[in-house]
């Protein structure tokens, strides 16, 4: 049977490539995918091909019907289906062979797009595991939609009709996973309709995660529509009143029902394959080791509404899978519980008493807005202790949060971090912000640190010295003089074996006027005396930087801003080993002075970085002029181990860890801020967990010429090569048919 299927598939595949239509389709496909991909990819500035796969379902809406429309409809119209079935081959083998040929042809179109990740690899480091997972996900999506297109081809003898039917079915399978469609569905059916969407199951695969439930869905989708295609083929050869026809109808219904049931069972069982390089969606060895060593069992309870909005429903699925993973690896030390409740008064009271936050959200249901209440939170219980995540708004760092809470409830000993803050980071009132704390200081960073440490603000004027129970001191945010007793106290603390994180500004930037003034105070002199000098210059990077929005609110455009640099690790120090890209606004160079021992760079720019000094001009300009000979790698953060056991980290910037930059897409900034405190506290157990939330590496080409080559080779070069290949194939066939046949 398999041999006959392959023979038919091989014949069909050769027929595809013997036709000019195949090369036209592949040419258009490669040009369209490259056009839309590079429009998004170069703006994002990240080495990732995820935009391609986010676009893929919409491209397949037209590509699948175009490929499959002639598979059976053409055979019926030409009358060759009867000839084919007169051979020793069954209808199911015909359906399977046609589907295999269609899928292989469409996967050849996906292979054409491999030049995109190959090109991006010249400008950044791609996650190969994620890329493999994304192409594997594309295979399952193509197989599922290919079966739908084959069914559409079996419904008619007209290829145009088959195309329209396939387009309508594929479109339905995609849009049922979109929010605007789900808003029009009764709330009791929302989850069911979402699970029927191919888009819902494919989206998780674009992350590089292959879930059993998603694979089962696409297998079931292919099985259902293959059985329907078989039914339509076989029906034409049976009398509608015969017992064989009734058996055929019953068998088709049973196959469809079993396929759907198997997909539902796989959804409840769970299980997934994480192909990402860092295992972002799998538990880290640190978490596994910690839960297995718990002296007493921990219970993780997930509270979720039955009627969640679509975006929260996706988060619910990720959270549920995560707590199930904890239970699976814990050897009985973790019990996971899922409680889905309604929005009634009793359910709301029970959830509120558990510490879970009940929120309101607006949903559009059946052409009217409705205000709904819902909840999605977690509790972690250990003996008589209880910690809560009131509402899960982001699952990117869920493992870190859960492991931190488990550690918090299961241990009584926590290290302490003390903050000494200057005027720029102490929450001073900003009159331009109507009385709100300026940048909210480091409140967000401090809140994250409290998950693992005891955190407090230190007042050196009142205390005179660093308390003996403090393990790490963070000092920064000074645009002028430092309090009299501060530096001597910090120096004494460091010499006694303590650890210090110094966020130093050797220049002061007025954000409203973009005026720059040099700073020389006790803090800049303190770090210089310790061998790590912050220079009164501003670094800029012409290749790796953060775009800023300019123009009015209605006509805003993005402009690369070299003074907001994206910097990366400069060494394999545990503080930055797995950190991706840190955004540093108006950073200053950190120089390791000659003769300084046990010092190393932590963060650095690309080789396209320069500096400004004295005559500062940091206004965003589209045509910023630089001297290429002045560009080189610049260090902006460094670490040193002090004799006596102390540790010192100096960063040439104090605002990159404020709430303004953590909430503005600076998740890597927060990870770096937590990791350096871990290194200073000599507690690195959580660093590997945080780093799993890393962003994609920056897309930085060595030259504009290479950047343009990658783009236009994919946009123009690849389509032209395919067209030339097709032209050569057609010319060769024409010459062959013009030859005289000699037996």
Cβ partners under 8 Å of residue 649, min gap 6? 500, 501, 502, 575, 602, 637, 638, 639, 640, 676, 679, 680
3 state DSSP class of 635: strand
117 falls in which pLDDT band (50, 70, 90)?
A: very high
* Burial classification of residue 128, based on how many CB atoms lie within 10 Å of its CB (0-12 exposed, 13-18 middle, 19 or more buried): middle
- The whole-number pLDDT of residue 432 equals 32
- The whole-number pLDDT of residue 438 equals 41
pLDDT of 732 higher than 80: no
3 state DSSP class of 423: coil
559 found inside a domain: no
- Please tell me whether residues 299 and 252 are part of one structural domain: no
Angle (nearest 5°) at CA 270 between 266 and 273: 110
- Whether residue 664 contacts residue 657, with contact meaning beta carbons closer than 8 Å, is answered with no
Number of domains forming the structure of the chain: 3
Q: How far apart are CA 406 and CA 103, in angstroms?
A: 47
Q: How far apart are CA 438 and CA 675, in angstroms?
A: 25
Higher-confidence residue of 660 and 598: namely 598
- Please tell me whether residues 501 and 362 are part of one structural domain: no
Q: How far apart are CA 524 and CA 532, in angstroms?
A: 9
For residue 468, list its beta bridge partners: none
Q: How far apart are CA 582 and CA 695, in angstroms?
A: 10
Greatest Cα pair distance, the chain, in angstroms, is 107
The per-type count for the chain, helices as H runs and strands as E runs, is: 27, 24
- The whole-number pLDDT of residue 429 equals 35
- The whole-number pLDDT of residue 433 equals 35
- Whether residue 392 contacts residue 429, with contact meaning beta carbons closer than 8 Å, is answered with no
582 found inside a domain: yes
612 found inside a domain: no
pLDDT of 576 higher than 80: yes
**Cα-based distances in Å from 263 to 96, 159, 191, 275, 454:** 20, 32, 15, 22, 47
742 found inside a domain: no
Sign for the CA dihedral angle at 340, 341, 343, 349 comes to: negative
Q: How far apart are CA 207 and CA 130, in angstroms?
A: 7
Q: How far apart are CA 553 and CA 697, in angstroms?
A: 30
230 found inside a domain: yes
- Please tell me whether residues 60 and 173 are part of one structural domain: yes
- Please tell me whether residues 427 and 383 are part of one structural domain: no
Q: What is the pLDDT of residues 394-451, one digit of tens each?
A: 777 788 888 888 988 888 788 899 999 988 776 543 333 333 334 347 888 998 898 8
- Please tell me whether residues 358 and 390 are part of one structural domain: yes
Q: How far apart are CA 526 and CA 480, in angstroms?
A: 14
- Whether residue 499 contacts residue 647, with contact meaning beta carbons closer than 8 Å, is answered with yes
Q: What's the mean pLDDT in 370-391?
A: 85
541 found inside a domain: no
Q: Is the pTM of this model over 0.75?
A: no
Pick from 502, 360, 490, 493: nearest CA to 425: 502
- The whole-number pLDDT of residue 556 equals 62
Q: How far apart are CA 49 and CA 41, in angstroms?
A: 8
Sign for the CA dihedral angle at 342, 201, 150, 249 comes to: negative
Q: What is the pLDDT of residues 607-654, one digit of tens each?
A: 999 999 988 999 988 888 899 999 999 999 999 999 888 999 999 999
- The whole-number pLDDT of residue 72 equals 86
- Please tell me whether residues 333 and 360 are part of one structural domain: yes
Cα 483 to chain centroid, rounded: 44
Higher-confidence residue of 680 and 179: namely 680
Q: How far apart are CA 253 and CA 695, in angstroms?
A: 46
Q: What is the pLDDT of residues 480-536, one digit of tens each?
A: 888 888 999 999 999 999 999 999 999 999 888 889 999 999 999 999 999 999 999
| Residue 439, phi-psi category: left (phi > 0), alpha (psi -120 to 50), beta (remainder) | left
555 falls in which pLDDT band (50, 70, 90)?
A: low
130 falls in which pLDDT band (50, 70, 90)?
A: confident
Which residue range forms the structural domain that includes residue 595? 416-536+574-605+634-682
366 falls in which pLDDT band (50, 70, 90)?
A: very low
What is the CB neighbour count within 10 angstroms for residue 313?
Answer: 20
**Cα-based distances in Å from 582 to 367, 651, 668:** 44, 12, 5
562 found inside a domain: no
Q: What is the DSSP letter of 714?
A: I
Q: What's the mean pLDDT in 121-133?
A: 87
Q: How far apart are CA 737 and CA 743, in angstroms?
A: 15
Pick from 96, 103, 104, 102: nearest CA to 229: 96
Looking at 596-717, list the stretches that DSSP marks H as alpha helix, in order from N- to C-terminal side.
659-662, 667-681, 687-690, 704-712
User: Tokens representing 460?
Assistant: 């050196």
Helix (H) or strand (E) holding 292: helix 285-292
What is the CB neighbour count within 10 angstroms for residue 57?
Answer: 23
Q: Which of 66-75, 257-266, 438-447, 700-709 has the lowest mean pLDDT?
A: 438-447
Q: What's the mean pLDDT in 335-349?
A: 80
**Cα-based distances in Å from 658 to 212, 417, 517, 569:** 41, 17, 21, 20
Higher-confidence residue of 149 and 371: namely 149
Any idea which residue has 């040009």 for tokens? 31
Cα 539 to chain centroid, rounded: 29
**Cα-based distances in Å from 661 to 58, 432, 448, 457, 584:** 34, 18, 15, 21, 9
Q: What's the mean pLDDT in 470-482?
A: 91
Percent of the chain residues past pLDDT 90, beyond the cut: 35
CA-derived radius of gyration, the chain: 31
- Please tell me whether residues 363 and 481 are part of one structural domain: no
Tell me the DSSP string of 473-525.
EEEE--SSPPPTTHHHHHHHHHHTT-EEEEE--SEEEETTTTEEEE---HHHH
Pick from 374, 436, 322, 407: nearest CA to 190: 374
Strand ranges in 535-595 using DSSP code E only, listed in sequence order:
538-541, 545-550, 557-569, 582-585, 590-592
Q: What is the pLDDT of residues 189-211, one digit of tens each?
A: 766 777 788 888 888 788 788 88
Q: How far apart are CA 182 and CA 191, in angstroms?
A: 9
Q: What's the mean pLDDT in 467-482?
A: 91
Length of the chain: 743
Q: What's the mean pLDDT in 175-192?
A: 70
pLDDT of 694 higher than 60: no
- The whole-number pLDDT of residue 280 equals 73
Q: How far apart are CA 419 and CA 475, in angstroms?
A: 6
User: Tokens representing 23?
Assistant: 């090369």
- Please tell me whether residues 383 and 453 are part of one structural domain: no
pLDDT of 78 higher than 80: no
- Please tell me whether residues 345 and 477 are part of one structural domain: no
Helix (H) or strand (E) holding 59: helix 50-68
476 found inside a domain: yes
- The whole-number pLDDT of residue 550 equals 67
- The whole-number pLDDT of residue 176 equals 83
Phi then psi dihedrals of residue 609, to 5 deg: -105, 140
Q: How far apart are CA 133 and CA 53, in angstroms?
A: 11
3 state DSSP class of 429: strand
3 state DSSP class of 10: helix
- Please tell me whether residues 390 and 425 are part of one structural domain: no
Pick from 161, 172, 267: nearest CA to 211: 267
- The whole-number pLDDT of residue 634 equals 96
Report the CATH number at residue 330.
Answer: 3.40.30.10
Tell me the DSSP string of 348-401.
HHHHHHTTPPPEEEEEEETTEEEEEEE-EEEEEEETTEEEEES-----TTHHHH
Higher-confidence residue of 598 and 350: namely 598
Last residue of a domain, one of 346, 368, 401: 401
* Burial classification of residue 603, based on how many CB atoms lie within 10 Å of its CB (0-12 exposed, 13-18 middle, 19 or more buried): buried
Report the CATH number at residue 492.
Answer: 3.40.50.880
Average pLDDT over the chain, rounded to an integer: 84
Percent of the chain residues past pLDDT 70, beyond the cut: 88
- Please tell me whether residues 223 and 289 are part of one structural domain: no
What is the CB neighbour count within 10 angstroms for residue 214?
Answer: 24
- The whole-number pLDDT of residue 693 equals 53
Report CA dihedral (452, 472, 605, 643) to the nearest 10 degrees. -140
- The whole-number pLDDT of residue 690 equals 61
Q: What is the pLDDT of residues 96-106, one digit of tens each?
A: 899 999 999 99
- Please tell me whether residues 269 and 292 are part of one structural domain: no
Most confident of 240-254, 370-384, 631-645, 658-672: 631-645
- Whether residue 566 contacts residue 541, with contact meaning beta carbons closer than 8 Å, is answered with yes
């Amino acid at each position: 049977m398999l041999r006959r299927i392959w023979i038919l598939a091989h014949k069909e595949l050769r027929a595809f490539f013997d036709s000019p239509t195949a090369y036209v389709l592949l040419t258009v496909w490669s040009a369209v995918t490259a056009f839309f991909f590079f429009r998004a990819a170069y703006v994002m500035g990240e080495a990732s091909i995820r935009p391609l796969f986010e676009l893929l379902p919409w491209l397949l809406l037209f590509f699948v019907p175009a490929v499959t429309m002639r598979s059976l409809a053409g055979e019926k119209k030409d009358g060759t289906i009867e000839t084919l079935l007169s051979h020793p081959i069954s209808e199911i083998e015909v359906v399977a062979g046609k589907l295999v040929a269609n899928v292989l042809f469409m996967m050849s179109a996906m292979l054409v797009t491999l030049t995109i990740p190959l090109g991006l690899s010249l400008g950044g480091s791609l996650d190969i595991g994620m890329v493999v997972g994304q192409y594997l996900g594309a295979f399952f999506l193509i197989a599922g939609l290919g079966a739908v297109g084959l069914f559409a081809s079996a419904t008619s003898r007209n290829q145009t009709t088959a195309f329209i039917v396939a387009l309508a079915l594929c479109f339905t399978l995609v849009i049922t996973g979109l929010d605007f469609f789900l808003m029009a569905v009764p709330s009791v059916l929302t989850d069911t309709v979402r699970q029927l969407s191919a888009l819902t199951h494919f989206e998780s695969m674009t992350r590089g995660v292959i879930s059993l439930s998603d694979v089962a869905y696409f297998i079931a989708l292919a099985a259902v529509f293959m059985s329907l295609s078989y039914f339509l083929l076989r029906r034409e050869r049976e009398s509608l009143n015969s017992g064989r026809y009734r058996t055929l109808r019953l068998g088709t219904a049973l196959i469809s029902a079993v396929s759907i049931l198997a997909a539902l069972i796989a959804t409840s069982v769970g299980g997934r394959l994480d192909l990402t390089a860092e295992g972002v969606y799998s538990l880290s060895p640190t978490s596994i080791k910690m839960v297995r060593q718990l002296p007493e069992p921990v219970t993780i309870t997930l509270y979720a509404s039955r009627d969640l909005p679509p975006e929260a429903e996706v988060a619910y699925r990720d959270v549920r899978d995560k707590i199930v993973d904890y239970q699976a690896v814990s050897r009985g030390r973790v019990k996971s519980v899922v409680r889905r409740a309604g929005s009634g008064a009793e359910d709301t009271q029970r959830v509120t008493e558990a510490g879970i936050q009940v929120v309101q959200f607006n949903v559009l249901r059946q052409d009217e807005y409705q205000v709904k209440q819902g909840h999605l939170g977690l509790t972690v219980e250990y003996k008589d202790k209880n910690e809560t995540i009131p509402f899960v708004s982001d699952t990117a760092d869920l493992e870190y949060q859960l492991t931190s809470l488990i550690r918090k409830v299961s241990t009584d000993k926590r290290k302490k971090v003390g903050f000494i803050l200057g005027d720029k980071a102490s929450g001073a009132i900003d009159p331009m912000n109507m009385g709100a704390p300026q940048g909210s200081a480091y409140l967000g960073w401090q809140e994250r640190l409290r998950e693992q440490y005891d955190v407090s603000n230190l007042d050196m004027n009142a205390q005179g010295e660093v308390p003996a129970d403090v393990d790490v001191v963070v000092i920064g945010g000074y645009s002028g003089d430092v309090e009299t007793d501060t530096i001597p106290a910090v120096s004494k603390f460091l010499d006694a074996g303590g650890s210090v994180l110094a966020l130093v500004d050797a220049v002061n930037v007025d954000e409203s006027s973009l005026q720059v003034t040099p700073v020389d105070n006790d803090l800049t002199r303190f770090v210089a005396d310790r061998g790590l000098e912050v220079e009164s210059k501003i670094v800029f990077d012409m290749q790796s930087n953060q775009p800023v929005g300019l123009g009015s609110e209605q006509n805003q455009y993005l402009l690369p801003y070299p003074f907001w640099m994206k910097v990366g690790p400069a060494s394999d120090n545990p503080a930055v080993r797995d950190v991706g890209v840190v955004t540093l606004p108006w950073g200053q160079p950190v120089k390791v002075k000659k003769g300084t021992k046990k010092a190393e760079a932590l963060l650095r720019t690309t080789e396209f970085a320069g500096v400004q000094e004295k005559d500062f001009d940091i206004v965003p300009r589209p045509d910023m002029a630089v001297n290429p000979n002045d560009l080189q790698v610049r260090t902006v953060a460094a670490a040193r181990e002090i004799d006596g056991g102390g540790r010192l980290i100096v960063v040439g910037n104090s605002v990159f860890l404020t709430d303004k930059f953590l909430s503005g897409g600076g998740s890597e900034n927060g990870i770096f801020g937590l990791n350096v405190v871990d290194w200073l506290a000599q507690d690195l157990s959580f660093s590997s967990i945080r780093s799993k939330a890393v962003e994609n590496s920056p897309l930085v080409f060595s030259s504009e010429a290479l950047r343009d080559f990658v783009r236009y080779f994919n946009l123009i070069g690849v389509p032209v090569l395919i067209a030339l290949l097709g032209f050569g194939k057609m010319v060769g066939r024409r010459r062959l048919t013009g030859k005289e046949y000699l037996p």
